[in-house]
Structure 1
C-alpha cells in the first residue's frame, strides 16, 4: 500500500547535525515542508554522492521553506564519524537521522529486513505532516537533488493552487494545466 497522502507515522530518533547530537520527532516535520531521504548506509559508495548533491542544494531547499533530513539505519555516532572523515559528507548541514532500531525505515516501508538497511527512499512531506510524494530506488541507483527540488516545488505549487496540475518537466514559472472535459483527448 502506498504511503502517498497518509500522515507521517509517529517517530522519535537521534540525529547528528553540524557537530551536535539532537532528537528529531514527527512533530519537527509539522509546520513546514520536509524531505526525508533514506539511504543504505554510512561509509558506502553511492550514498556520499547523494548526500553531497543535497548539501550543494540545501540553501535552495531552505529558501523555499523545506528542511531536508538524511536517514539510515546507522547510529548518530556513525553519522558523526562519517561527517568528520568524508569530504563529501562533511558538506552536509542538514540533520542525519539515526535508525539503528530499524523502526523509522520499517514505518516508511523502505527497510530491507534481511540486510538491516534501507532502500533509497525519498519522501516529500507537507506542513500538515502528509506524505505527498514517495520514490523508492534499488540501492545501486543514485538520486538527483535538482530533480527532487523540482518535485518539491511542484508539490508546493499544486497545494497553493487547487485545481491545477503540473505536467511532465514542469518547473517553477512554467504553465500548468487545469483538468477539464475540454482537455480530454487534446493533449
Structure 2
C-alpha cells in the first residue's frame, strides 16, 4: 500500500458530479490534474448499495464547505461504475444532495495502484488519503470493511498538516502547537 511521503498516482476517472447536476446523468471526467494547487482528500468505500457507506458519504458531503474553507477538494470513490453511482444517488435519500463527486474506479486501476483492494473480497478497503498540493500523500488511514470513519477527524488532520507545527494529541486549529 502506498503511504505517507509517496506520490499519489496519476488517474483519470468518470464521476457523478456534486450537487443536483449529479442527478442528471451528465458524467464528468476527473483526474489528478484537477483542483491544481489544492489539498485533496480521497476516501474509498467498498461498493455501492451497502449499509455503512452512505452514512460516510453523506457525512463527508455535509462537511464539504469545511473542507473547501481549508482549500481541500474531497473525492469519494468505489469500484462501481458511474452508472451504478448515479442509480444509487437517485434511490438513496442520504445521497441525493451530495456536495462531493463520486468517482468510478470500476477497472480498479487507482485502487490497485494504491494497494487498497481487500485480498478476499476484491473491493476497496475503507481507505482515506490526504494529499498535499504537490501530490504527496501526507496521511493514510484504513478501516476494516465493517467500520465507518469520522470525517471530523480528517478536518482536524488537515488543519494540523496545514499548520506545519508539532500538533499534540487532540489538537485543534487555533490551539498552541509544541
**TM-score in terms of structure 1 length:** 0.88
Distance 1:108 1:36 in 2: 11
Query: How many Å apart are 1:27 and its aligned residue?
Result: 1.1
1:176 is matched with 177
Q: Distance in 1 between matches of 2:32 and 2:75?
A: 12
CA contact (8 A) 2:2 2:114 kept: no
More displaced 10-residue stretch of structure 1: 66-75 or 82-91: 82-91
Measured in 1, the distance between the counterparts of 2:172 and 2:93 equals: 31
CA apart distance, 1:147: 0.9
Alignment match, 1:41: 47
1:54-88 C-alpha deviation (Å, 9 max, x unpaired): 11111111111111000000000111111111111
Give the 5 Å matches for 1:25-104: 25-104=31-110
Please, what is the CA RMSD of the aligned residues? Answer: 1.3
* Contact kept? 2:125, 2:144, Cα under 8 Å: yes
Deviation (angstroms), 1:30:
3.2
4+ residue runs of structure 1 moved beyond 6 angstroms? none
Match of 1:115 among 113, 117, 121: 121
Q: 1:52 to 1:120 in 2, by over 3 A?
A: same
Of structures 1 and 2, the larger Rg is shown by 1
Conservation of the 8 A alpha-carbon contact between 1:40 and 1:73: yes
User: How many residue pairs are counted as aligned between the two chains?
Assistant: 172
Counterpart of 2:6 in structure 1 is 6
Gaps of 5+ in 1: 159-163, 178-187
Separation in 2, partners of 1:176, 1:111: 36
* 2:12–2:30 Cα contact (<8 Å) kept: yes
SS of alignment partner, residue 88 of structure 1: helix
Determine if contact 1:15/1:76 at 8 Å carries over to the other structure: yes
